[in-house]
Structure 1
Amino acid sequence: MTDADEAWYQVGMLNSQALTNATLAFNPKGDFGERHLHTLPYRMMPAYDSGNGDHRKIAVLAKDIAVLAEGHCTTDPYLSDPAKALTARRRKLRTLLDTSPLLAQLETLAQSARAGTSTAPSGGSGTQAPSC
């Protein structure tokens, strides 16, 4: 890992449905669901390219979504209650984030990164994503 942008790119890709869907066919399933997911996504994720505008946008969006998630976690009493089941809190947070246009943008970019296509020319703007 070379810098924070690459780290945020990986956060965005690892949390995308595009990468999740790409790994599903290769995940062995046990009694409790998919297994060995910890190594597979890294093999299927395109390497970060700082010259690729889409990769930079994925990094920006991942950071913005993390800020949005943190806001939900600090203002929603259910999400901030450690006595509630973690799986239920994760599901609720994901439902809240699913309504954000930021997540839709991230999914589009992650899908194109997985496919090896780009929605922006190399050296694209990497501008800040619009807020919710």
Structure 2
Amino acid sequence: MEDTINIYGKLEKQNFTTKDWLVLSSASGSNPCAAYISLETFDRSRLVIDQTLYWHLADSEEEAIYIVGLLNSNAMSDAIKDFQPEGGFGKRHIHTLPYKIIPEFDCEDAAHTQVVAKTQELMHEWAVLCCDGEYANLLRPNSSSLNSRRRRQQSAIRSLGGYTEYEAACYAVLG
């Protein structure tokens, strides 16, 4: 069975035993979108990543936060927008483009650690906001369409107190 679904060796490449932090990002759409998880609580032998996602194994949680912070930023969208094909529904096909321009994480680089710190602050603000009420509902898949929930989430995140400093940190790394 594995041979019939292991097209181009995609399953063989999904070896999640080497590191403890997994970054997942979208392959399509007009804006990059990413999250990370700790692999310590997963049965890594049963973990399969869907073909519509790209993944990266990070050496540390700080590296995972750095990559996720950059991937979710307007700085990244601005950096790649001229290289994305455009169709009837606007910009599409992010694929691996963001990963090609993200500088390798360096815990000694102040700009990199600033992205980590500002991303963590924003994540904390967002978690507090999502504890109850309207924003908690945006995390429920059946509360409305994905597109609507995503738009409302992005708007709410941009209104958080730490958002401007977060974007500034991302632009400092991506230019």
TM-score range, shorter chain: 0.7 to 0.9
Task: Give the equivalent residue in structure 2 for 1:87.
Answer: 147
- Cα contact 1:27–1:34 (8 A) shared by 2: yes
- Cα contact 1:72–1:93 (8 A) shared by 2: no
- Output the aligned Cα RMSD: 1.7
Count of aligned pairs: 115
Q: CA deviation at 1:80?
A: 4.2
Greater helix content: 1
Identity across the alignment (%): 28
Written as runs of structure 1 = structure 2, the 5 A alignment for 1:1-132 is 1-77=58-134, 78-81=137-140, 82-115=142-175
Gaps of 5+ in 2: 1-57
Relative to structure 2, which stretch is displaced further, 105-114 or 87-96?
87-96
Relative to structure 2, which stretch is displaced further, 77-86 or 27-36?
77-86
* Rg larger for: 2
- Cα contact 1:50–1:56 (8 A) shared by 2: yes
Greater strand content: 2
Gaps of 5+ in 1: 116-132
Q: CA deviation at 1:97?
A: 1.6
Change (3 A) 1:74 1:31: farther
SS at match of 2:59: coil
Letter in 2 for 1:30: G
- Greater relative contact order (CA < 8 Å, ≥ 6 in sequence): 1
CA distance in 1, matches of 2:139, 2:77: 26
CA distance in 2, matches of 1:66, 1:38: 24
TM-score by length of 2: 0.59
SS at match of 2:84: coil
